[in-house]
Amino acid sequence: FASGIPGWKTDRGRIYITFGPPDEIESHPSGGTYERPFDEGGGVTSTYPFEIWRYRWIEGIGTDILIEFVDKSMSGEYRMTMDPSEKDALLMVPNAGLTLIEEMGLASKEDRFSRTDGTRLGIGDQPLSARLNQFNRLEQYVKLQKPPAVKFRDLEAAVNSRITYNILPMLTRVDYIRLTDSSILASFTLQFERKDLQFQLKDGMQRATVNIYGRITNMARRPIQWFEDTVSIECLPEALPEMIKGVSVYNKTIPLPPGMYRLNIVAKDVVGGNMVNYETALHVPRYDEESLGASTLILADVLEKVPTRSIGTGQFVIGASKVRPRVGETFRRGEKMGIYAQFYNFAADESTQKPNGVIEYEIIEQGTNRKVLEFSEEVSSIEGASANQVTVEKLLPLQNMEPGKYTLKMTARDRIRNQTVTTTGNFTVL
């Protein structure tokens, strides 16, 4: 980012993470000539870069929510503002960028600086619109800063309790992907067998719903982050026997600083009332920029590129790829197993500025330690490889592998620093 601040720490990033993508964006990345709307005084002025995000509805705040971000420093750091006149680059220039009422001589530009409503709008004595009313603006600004209200209070209470439920079967998986040296993306994947959920006929459709509430705390149980969501499965009544043979998978990603945390997840089958309370420790790794590092090795049942507009957004999306982990790591012989891993901090070759290393792959049969597969590839041959990060994405056909349990071991070797790092994953072939 041009401003040098990670996106999730900026005002726009925080709003995006909290409330999701806006329904509309009015973007002026270069500022320039701008015709003000009538409730801001009308007239033409020149502006700093700014954006206006519009949400049709935000729970707990209201409808038709407009959020304005202004980059007054021209550095790419957009900041949320309550004052619509903050984007006016000619605000301090005498007799420039006048509003309509100022052009007609019914108000002076100097009057803008004596206003008591927290704005520098040039509208004279005219009343503010309801949208720009100082109390409405202040109320909206405060609500946007607050964490969203918890919808599933019953699940939050279950997280707070020390009672463990094992009624609703649920499989979980945690993966770690580096964002920066000080921020690691923790990816939580939950899987439910549909046969364990209770379906209900409503509006001509069979529907099952699971409410999910998760909370991350430090080791002293002080809250750090929380999330909640709803997973719904629906089908036509005649398709239900086939539908319940499959699984439903949910994914949530949260950036965390390196360290130790606790993760609590409570899931509840809304129709059947069954519940599970899951707790585990999170060991968020720290990556030293002078040492070779590796992400979690993800064995996936879906590994594919996403459209440009979907890069970095949506469930299971890591960068430009959709990576859906196979929770339980069990595959059938007719399937292709996706292999996804990232390696960090290779030393750059002085002449080419590219990494000089090799990735070695080994598949070992558990119990016999027999090597089923062994090969290697040069880091320089991997698409998009750089000294900072090398991303491995491969599909491995399993039709020639005998049923059994296996271990995939990936070892990265940096020839310049003479360092190695290994990441492993276990899987079963049926």
Confirm whether 150-286 and 287-430 share one CATH topology. yes
Among candidate residues 131, 199, 172, 129, the one with its CA nearest the CA of residue 264 = 172
The tens place of each residue's pLDDT in the chain, 430 residues long, gives: 466 788 878 899 889 988 889 999 999 999 999 999 998 999 999 999 999 999 999 888 989 999 999 999 988 899 999 999 999 999 999 989 999 988 998 899 988 998 888 888 988 888 888 888 889 999 999 999 887 776 777 776 666 665 555 589 999 999 999 998 889 999 999 999 999 999 999 999 999 999 999 999 998 888 899 999 999 999 999 999 999 999 999 999 999 999 999 999 999 999 988 999 899 999 999 999 889 999 999 999 999 999 888 777 788 999 899 999 999 999 999 899 999 999 999 999 888 888 999 999 999 999 999 999 999 999 989 998 999 999 999 999 999 899 999 999 999 999 999 999 999 999 999 9
Does residue 87 contact residue 68 with C-beta atoms inside 8 Å?
yes
What CATH number belongs to 287-430?
2.60.40.2550
Cα 415 to Cα 346: distance, rounded to the nearest angstrom: 9
- Listed in order, strand segments (DSSP E) in 257-294 are 259-269, 275-284, 293-294
- 349 secondary structure, DSSP code: P
Cα 151 to Cα 212: distance, rounded to the nearest angstrom: 10
pTM of the model: 0.67
Alpha carbon distances (Å) from 381 to 303, 384, 396:
20, 9, 18
Does residue 390 contact residue 379 with C-beta atoms inside 8 Å?
yes
Return the domain boundaries, the chain.
Answer: 7-145, 150-286, 287-430
Count CB atoms within 10 A of the CB of residue 75.
13
Cα 119 to Cα 99: distance, rounded to the nearest angstrom: 14
Beta sheet of 79-81, edge-to-edge order: 24-28, 50-58, 62-70, 79-81
3-state secondary structure 21-72: CCCEEEEECCCEEEECCHHHCCCEEEECCEEEEEEEEECCCEEEEEEEEECC
Does residue 15 contact residue 79 with C-beta atoms inside 8 Å?
no
Count CB atoms within 10 A of the CB of residue 172.
15
What CATH number belongs to 150-286?
2.60.40.10
